[in-house]
Amino acid sequence: MLIAVCIILAALAALLVVNLSAGERRVAHEVQHLYPLHDAQFMRAMGMLMGPAIVPGNKVTPLINGDEIFPAMLEAIRGARKTVLFETFIYWSGDIGKAFAEALSERARAGVRVHVLLDWVGSIKVDVDLVHRMREAGVEVRMFHPLRWYHLGRMNNRTHRKLLIVDGCIGFTGGVGIAPQWCGHAQDPEHWRDSHFRVEGPVVAQMQSVMLSNWSKTTGRVLHGQDYFPALEPAGDQPAQMFASSPSGGSESMLMMTMLAIAASVRSIDIASAYFVPDRVALAALVSAAQRGVRVRVITPGRHTDQDTVRHASRGLWGPLLEAGVELYEYQPTMFHCKMLLVDGLLASVGSTNFDPRSFHLNDEANLNVYDAAFAQRMTEVFEADLRKCERITLEGWRRRPARERLREGFSAILAPVL
């Protein structure tokens, strides 16, 4: 009996270790500041060292909160003629869940090939009847890493990506899930603040490729051809690339991309993150940037958060940042779920990635990098509009926080590597 218990405990311990490991050697050293972000060498590094290629001719339209985001996504789905691909972490229910199910089902009945990939953990609260109705209508709905014996070593690897691609020519990415919290316009604590982005142009093919990578891993089938990858004409003048990472290949890619951008900064870094828990390397990079004169501003959730443990783990790390002059802000009206990195008025990186170990090491993530001063200025205006609804955290105020908060932060910090 004792031997059996020991074997079970050893197996559980092994599973825990496997699930908490990124599977690859982590970035362990700070990236050096060798050239500014506006230098051509930075673009070469982002396009060649990191990949994929930066492609010109795109148009990226920001959508602010559910009242702008969901109508645009539903309009695109309802206008689909050949294909719809949809990958998301959270798909629950409510009126918005029904609206998406109905739109996807209607297109499938009309002969459009509709492929939906839901994360099994993130969408565990999905209304099963909605899934049944979509499948009956011809929608191909699959779950990413469901609870199966052959997935036990990958249960902590979730797809956190938010991707919708219609007819291979219109894409959407950002932070929203399909749930009632994202409806409205962030008017109260029950309705969250978030952003999403409508994309046209050649970079949509990269978005499609990212989605189809997880589709083929899940189903074993490769989707290709004219209906999925049509020839794409320029739709605007914004250079962009769709950047992705996954523990099954390139788990450190998102962190390296972020560290390269921070290392190249000379003027400004603005970070919007629903979950801000920088690891040792990221913390050092932000401190170094601030010390060489870069203005660094960070917005994270305040008391309205769906992850108290993350907030406490984050706050426990703020000392070195505040001492270096980093400006830290907590959003007050409601849950702040945005994910954005703005650097030197040129690079805007938007998508699903939070500034935390889970996004950098454990999840499948996808970010759209836009290299355009006008777009970066527009997103800076959005950032500063959010900033006006924040409370700034000072070094003096942080040092005066109650002992009970410090204690909670200490306990939460233990979990920081997997938050």
Write out the catalytic residue numbers: 160, 162, 167, 337, 339, 344
Distance between CA atoms of 182 and 296, rounded to whole angstroms? 28
If you count them, how many residues does the chain have?
419
Distance between CA atoms of 317 and 329, rounded to whole angstroms? 14
Compute the Cα dihedral for 26, 32, 38, 39 and give only its sign. negative
Residue 144: strand pairing partners: 119
Distance between CA atoms of 10 and 22, rounded to whole angstroms? 20
Q: In this structure, how many other beta carbons lie within 10 angstroms of the beta carbon of residue 236?
A: 17
Q: Are 199 and 58 in contact (CB under 8 A)?
A: yes
Amino acid type, 55 = V
Distance between CA atoms of 275 and 222, rounded to whole angstroms? 34
Distance between CA atoms of 115 and 92, rounded to whole angstroms? 17
User: From the centroid of its chain, how far is CA 170?
Assistant: 19
Helix (H, G, I), strand (E, B) or coil at 145: coil
User: From the centroid of its chain, how far is CA 329?
Assistant: 20
Locate 132 and state its tokens.
Answer: 């049944």
Distance between CA atoms of 143 and 247, rounded to whole angstroms? 18
Distance between CA atoms of 285 and 268, rounded to whole angstroms? 13
Distance between CA atoms of 381 and 384, rounded to whole angstroms? 5
